[in-house]
Amino acid sequence: MALEKQLKWEGKASAELKVTRTCHGVEGTPGVAGCVWFYAGFKTPVDPKSDQNQDQEKANRTKQKLLSIDPAEMTYSYSIIDGNVGFNSYLSTVQMVPKDAECTIVWKYEVEPVEG
């Protein structure tokens, strides 16, 4: 009995994300702890209790500072140092966790919201 040649398995996966954000460096070297970048773009509704048009939206904007980056552990941490998103302090760590042929992104944060 002759052995039949096995066909190769091939595959591809992708996801499309709609990018509606502005991002640019403000100071420091990109990718190096201490650098600061500016984000803006996604919108949230304006306070519905205000007398302004309730359908109006405002663009969220933040300045974020890279606190650490560890390529071996696939993590980085950053803080929001300025912005209009309603936080007195914000600290976040993002990690990519590979498992077999997949990858999970773990996002941890600590936030102190402003009053009101």
Q: What's residue 57's pLDDT? A: 65
Instruction: Give the three-state DSSP class for 9.
Output: coil
Spell out a b/e string for 37-51, using b for 16 or more CB atoms within 10 Å of the CB, else e. Answer: bebbeeeeeeeeeee
Q: What's residue 4's pLDDT? A: 65
CATH number at residue 72: 3.30.530.20
pLDDT of 48 > 60? The answer is no
Say if 1 falls within a structural domain.
no
Put simply, whether the predicted model's pTM sits higher than 0.85 gets the answer no
Q: Which domain holds residue 69?
A: 27-41+56-113
pLDDT of 3 > 80? The answer is no
Neighbours of 91 (CB within 10 A): 15
Say if 99 falls within a structural domain.
yes
Instruction: Give the rounded percent of residues in the chain with a pLDDT score beyond 90.
Output: 40
Q: What's residue 114's pLDDT? A: 75
Rounded distance between C-alpha atoms, residue 101 and residue 12, angstroms: 11
Kindly give, in sequence order, each residue whose CB lies less than 8 Å from that of residue 51, ignoring residues fewer than 6 positions away: none
